[in-house]
Every structure is written in C-alpha cells, then in structure tokens.
Amino acid sequence: MSSVTLGNSVPNFESMSTGDKSIQLSDYQGKYLILYFYPRDNTPGCTTEGQNFRDKIAEFEALNTAILGVSRDSLRVHEGFKAKQCFPFDLLSDQEESLCNLFDVIKMKNMYGKQVRGIERSTFLIDPNGILIHEWRKVKVKVHIDEVLQIVKELGA
C-alpha cells in the first residue's frame, strides 16, 4: 500500500484501539480527525503531547474534531497509559506498522549514537470526507497543540 498524500483520500483503514474496539476511518465520516503518531507510551515527550491534546479536547470537540493517538505499543501498554493520563480519546496500536507505513512515519533516527527505526512524531488532519488536508512532520511538542488548534479554527470546523 502506498502512502497517503495531501489533498487525496485516505484509504478506510481499520485498527484495534483502547477500550477493546476496532476503529475505522469511516467511523469519523462527517468529522475532522486528528491522527497523531508518537514514538512510545510513557516517555516524557509523548506524555506531554498526549496531555496537551487531552487538555484541549473540549475545544477540538466544539470544532467537530476527533483525536486518535497512534504508536507501535501494545494495547495493554496503551490501556495503562490512557488510564494514567486520563486521555479522553482512544489510542491505536500499530504493532504491524500498517498505519505507520500508510502515513510514512517510520524513519531512521539516531538514539544514543545508534541508528534505529522509529516513529517520527507526526500529526495528520483528515477532513469530514476522508481527505488528508494538513500534515505536521518532525513535530516539536512545545508549540504543536497551538498550531493544530489554530488550523482547525481557521477551517471553521
């Protein structure tokens, strides 16, 4: 499967999520969807990013926008992370990397002097018709939430 590109339809993917649910893109038809990819549960940057989305959830919901987090962690680990951080949105487990490959977020990264394959922190905005309309790559957690919220507001979601 090739990766998605801006301005094009996102294929109707299906993934297991927290709450023992199977989630499909089509479940969000009629809403904007933020899909944010992060490297790993319970790490400082990933925790802060999730908390930032959690803390702004009411603003996003008022703009007809849902949020889903994605990493390669297991559902068991996701359940603990979600509960500990009181995330009001689901986390998708992508251990097979099908979503990661679809959105082309697996990159070679330097970690402690070694090259490792990992998720490049990235966020994607999908419109109510399933079209990829915005992407943020190499996300900097500190300012990211405000950038995403500003774009959603500008869309008049």
pLDDT in tens, 85-110: 999 999 999 999 999 999 999 887 77
Tell me how far apart the alpha carbons of residues 30 and 49 are, in angstroms, rounded to a whole number: 25
Q: For 58-78, write each residue's pLDDT tens digit.
A: 999 999 999 999 999 999 999
Q: How many CA atoms does the CB half-sphere of 16 hold within 13 Å? A: 13
Q: Which residues are catalytic, by number?
A: 46
Do the beta carbons of residue 34 and residue 123 sit within 8 Å?
yes
Q: For 16-28, write each residue's pLDDT tens digit.
A: 999 999 999 999 9
Q: Which helix (H) or strand (E) holds 32?
A: strand 32-37
**Fold entry, domain 14-154:** Glutaredoxin (3.40.30)
**DSSP-derived pairing of the beta strands 114-119 and 122-126:** unpaired
What pLDDT sits at residue 157? 54
What pLDDT sits at residue 147? 95
Q: Which residue has the higher pLDDT, 120 or 3?
A: 120
What pLDDT sits at residue 133? 96
Tell me how far apart the alpha carbons of residues 30 and 53 are, in angstroms, rounded to a whole number: 21
Judge if pTM exceeds 0.95: no
